[in-house]
Amino acid sequence: MAHDHDHHHHDHDHSELSETELRVRALETVLTEKGYVDPAALDAIVEAYQTKIGPRNGARVVAKAWTDPSFKQALLDDASKAIATLGHVSRVGDHLIAVENTPQRHNMVVCTLCSCYPWEMLGLPPVWYKASPYRSRAVKDPRGVLADFGIALPKDTEIRVWDSTAETRFLVLPMRPAGTEGWSEEQLAEIVTRDSMIGTGLPTAEPKAAS
Amino acid sequence: MNGVHDMGGMDGFGKVEPEPNEPVFHAAWEGRVMAMVRAMGAQGAFNIDASRFAREALPPEVYLSSSYYKKWLLALERHLAALGMAGQDEVAAGHALRDGAPLKRGKFEVDDVERIMVRGSFGRDAAAPAIFKPGDKVRAKNINPPTHTRLPRYVRGHTGIVERINGCHVFPDSAAHGRGENPQWLYTVVFESRELWGDDADPTLKVSIEAFEPYLEMI
């Protein structure tokens, strides 16, 4: 199999895709034959990220913080520790930091160097989070990036961008939207979108579009 | 290294394009690549820092023109070949041509999956007290190592304020290159937009990075 990726492939997306597929299969066969991995264990990893680990975990944490002031304080003090007390949500590793949006300050999370992201809270990151436009612009022109998401913040709101350059991970605690008074934690979790926990979205008192 | 992966502040990449109802993987092979990288890392073939460096070290034109998981695949192949764990000739043949090398934690089995669903801890005991404290004015050093570093170019030489101490962590600049964990204090350092981007910058913007102690000097 050829290992160069000549430009002619770019005109044939389908053939390039199948070449990549073959190459991935070949690598998996080699790793299996060498006794490094059991393919069934790889199946289990893929399945976990497709079915168990996703933004719902983070949404439940946010909903809890919106309804329980002492949990919210604990979350802001030490997010890893606070979430560990909610055994039913998700197990979470160390170094998670929750940052709170307020009327004065909006938080946004990026990884300019690669794709660091709170997997346990939000699942695997979306393509845009890992792609060049977001990684390049978030630290210089966050209002322009927010406009790409259809969001305009007041001109005097401070925007704080957290570049995840180490193993600390950040979860944005969005503001609870008006019109949700008296809602249960479960109802609130339904409106907490993935993007609102990255800082590129705002929750509204409407059912969320899947994202 | 001063690679194209270090993108903060670059122009010309265009609009951010969110995909409604985005699937977790866009093709089955993406999931296989992600799982192979996680599995080989978990068993000790490489650490997360070496794995990141393998992706940064892809040729710039490949890095910029490959999809995310394609980068992971290409870097994994090169990395395993460099470690003597799987040759590119074997991938080309589609079969192992030689016996496997020993893996620190043995074969990755179904029972190992649960363990990797929670991130490991990167916190370590400190050899010395932290030099900086919240409120200190610091400068990000002007360093340009050809090796792995987590100090992005856009802050080098600029002045910021220490905001938090996040513990003492494995130092990626050492760990990526087999030079041990060499734990260092980790800080959140915040920069004013005008300090980074000049007088025309959005005055409401502040940007923080997570900075290891060796990246910083007191002003």
What CATH number is attached to the domain comprising A59?
3.90.330.10
Tens-of-pLDDT digits for all 219 residues of chain B?
999 999 999 999 999 999 999 999 999 999 999 999 999 999 999 999 999 999 999 999 999 999 999 999 999 999 999 999 999 999 999 999 999 999 999 999 999 999 888 888 899 999 999 999 999 999 999 999 999 999 999 999 999 999 999 999 999 999 999 999 999 999 999 999 999 999 999 999 999 999 999 999 999
**pLDDT in the model for residue A55:** 95
Q: What is the rounded distance in angstroms from the CA atom of residue A46 to the CA atom of residue B38?
A: 10
Nearest CA in chain A to B63: A132
Catalytic site residue from A15, A18, A80, A115? A115
Residues A13 and A115 in one domain: no
> Å from B22 to nearest chain A CA?
7
Whether residues A45 and B22 touch (CB distance < 8 A) is answered with no
| Chain A residues 19-78 within an 8 A CB cutoff of chain B | 20-31, 33-38, 40-46, 48-50, 53-54
Residue A99 lies in a domain: yes
**pLDDT in the model for residue A18:** 84
Residues from chain A that touch B16, judged by Cβ atoms under 8 A, are 128, 131, 133-134, 137, 145, 148-149, 200
Q: Are B110 and A45 in contact (CB under 8 A)?
A: no
Residue A4 lies in a domain: no
Residue A120 lies in a domain: yes
Whether residues A38 and B109 touch (CB distance < 8 A) is answered with yes
| Annotation says A114 is catalytic | yes
Residues from chain B that touch A138, judged by Cβ atoms under 8 A, are 8
Residues A18 and A83 in one domain: no
Q: How, if at all, do strands B137-140 and B216-218 pair?
A: antiparallel
Residue A107 lies in a domain: yes
Nearest Cβ partner for B110 among A44, A119, A130:
A44
Whether residues A165 and B10 touch (CB distance < 8 A) is answered with no
Domain extent at residue A36: 9-51
Residues A134 and A178 in one domain: yes
Question: Would you call B30 exposed, middle or buried from its count of C-beta atoms within 10 A (0-12, 13-18, 19+)?
Answer: buried
Average pLDDT for consecutive 10-residue bins of chain A (211 residues)? 42 63 97 98 96 93 98 97 80 88 98 96 97 98 98 97 98 97 96 98 79 46
| Chain B residues 54-93 within an 8 A CB cutoff of chain A | 55-56, 62, 64-65, 68, 70, 73, 76-77, 85-86, 88, 90-93
**pLDDT in the model for residue A211:** 46
**pLDDT in the model for residue A208:** 59
| Annotation says A80 is catalytic | no
Task: Give the domain B28-116 fold.
Answer: Cyclin A; domain 1 (1.10.472)
Q: What is the rounded distance in angstroms from the CA atom of residue A138 to the CA atom of residue A55?
A: 21
For residue A206, give both structure tokens: 């409407």
Residues A103 and A137 in one domain: yes
Residue A34 lies in a domain: yes
Whether residues B34 and A158 touch (CB distance < 8 A) is answered with no
Residues A42 and A141 in one domain: no
**pLDDT in the model for residue A93:** 77
B11 touches chain A (CB under 8 A): yes
Whether residues B16 and A133 touch (CB distance < 8 A) is answered with yes
Q: Where are the beta strands (DSSP E) in chain B?
A: 137-140, 159-169, 184-192, 205-212, 216-218
Residue A205 lies in a domain: no
Residues A36 and A63 in one domain: no
Catalytic site residue from A18, A70, A80, A114? A114
Residues A61 and A78 in one domain: yes
A131 touches chain B (CB under 8 A): yes
Q: What is the rounded distance in angstroms from the CA atom of residue A125 to the CA atom of residue A198?
A: 10
Residues A16 and A63 in one domain: no
B152 touches chain A (CB under 8 A): yes
CB count within 10 Å of CB A63 equals 23
Q: Are B171 and B213 in contact (CB under 8 A)?
A: no
Residues A147 and A59 in one domain: yes
Structurally, how many domains does chain A consist of?
A: 2
Q: What is the rounded distance in angstroms from the CA atom of residue A107 to the CA atom of residue B2?
A: 28
Whether residues B64 and A139 touch (CB distance < 8 A) is answered with no
A117 touches chain B (CB under 8 A): no
Q: What is the rounded distance in angstroms from the CA atom of residue A189 to the CA atom of residue B137?
A: 40
B128 touches chain A (CB under 8 A): no
B153 touches chain A (CB under 8 A): no
Task: Give the domain B137-218 fold.
Answer: SH3 type barrels. (2.30.30)
Residues A154 and A89 in one domain: yes
Residues A30 and A121 in one domain: no
Q: What is the rounded distance in angstroms from the CA atom of residue B75 to the CA atom of residue B88?
A: 12
Residues A185 and A122 in one domain: yes
Nearest Cβ partner for B150 among A110, A124, A165:
A165
